[in-house]
């Protein structure tokens, strides 16, 4: 077999601070590439949103994560100098710094090697709607 590569940019509309599951869309794109073994990289092109692999069975997990990050990076204008886009601006950057903007997932037998309860999420850290981009790059055979 010959090593191949494929890439795309996934566009997502968000409607405020929460986790947006993208597992199905990512898995569908991966399946369309027709590779059996490889490595998928996801990269979020933003400094106020991030990517997570997280529990996808209990919706309370997502709510608890948003609440927890709100406590460790609160929207308190007395805490930060940077507020160019409003009081949620710097807290969003902190939340991104504490999470990740890149994920790598093995492809085994043509499928993402995620665990039973694992899902892929875009974690929006801003209160207002945004258009987000996640770059997908698959290398394999």
Q: Where are the domains of the chain?
A: 4-140
Alpha helices by DSSP H, listed for 73-115, are 89-98
Angle, helices 89-98 vs 59-72, to 10°: value is 120
Whether 19 contacts 65, CB under 8 Å: yes
- CATH code, residues 4-140: 2.60.120.460
Mean pLDDT of 115-128: 97
Residue 1 has pLDDT above 90, yes or no: no
pTM: 0.95
Q: How confident is the model at residue 83 (pLDDT cuts 50, 70, 90)?
A: confident
Which tens digits make up the pLDDT trace of 63-76? 999 999 999 999 99
Edge-to-edge order in the sheet of strand 18-21: 18-21, 118-124, 49-55
Which tens digits make up the pLDDT trace of 21-42? 999 999 999 999 999 999 999 9
Whether 23 contacts 114, CB under 8 Å: yes
């Amino acid at each position: 077999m010959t090593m191949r590569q494929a890439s795309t940019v996934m566009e997502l509309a968000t409607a405020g601070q929460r986790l947006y599951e993208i597992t199905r869309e990512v898995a569908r794109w991966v399946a369309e590439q027709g590779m059996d073994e490889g490595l998928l990289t996801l990269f979020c092109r933003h400094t106020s949103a991030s990517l997570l692999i997280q529990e996808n069975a209990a919706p309370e997990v997502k709510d608890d994560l948003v609440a927890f990050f709100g406590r460790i990076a609160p929207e308190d204008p007395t805490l930060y100098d940077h507020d160019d886009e409003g009081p949620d601006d710097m807290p969003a950057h902190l939340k991104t710094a504490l999470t990740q903007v890149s994920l790598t997932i093995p492809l085994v037998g043509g499928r993402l090697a995620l665990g039973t309860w694992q899902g892929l999420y875009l974690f929006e850290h801003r209160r207002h709607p945004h258009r987000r981009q996640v770059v997908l790059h698959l290398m394999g055979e």
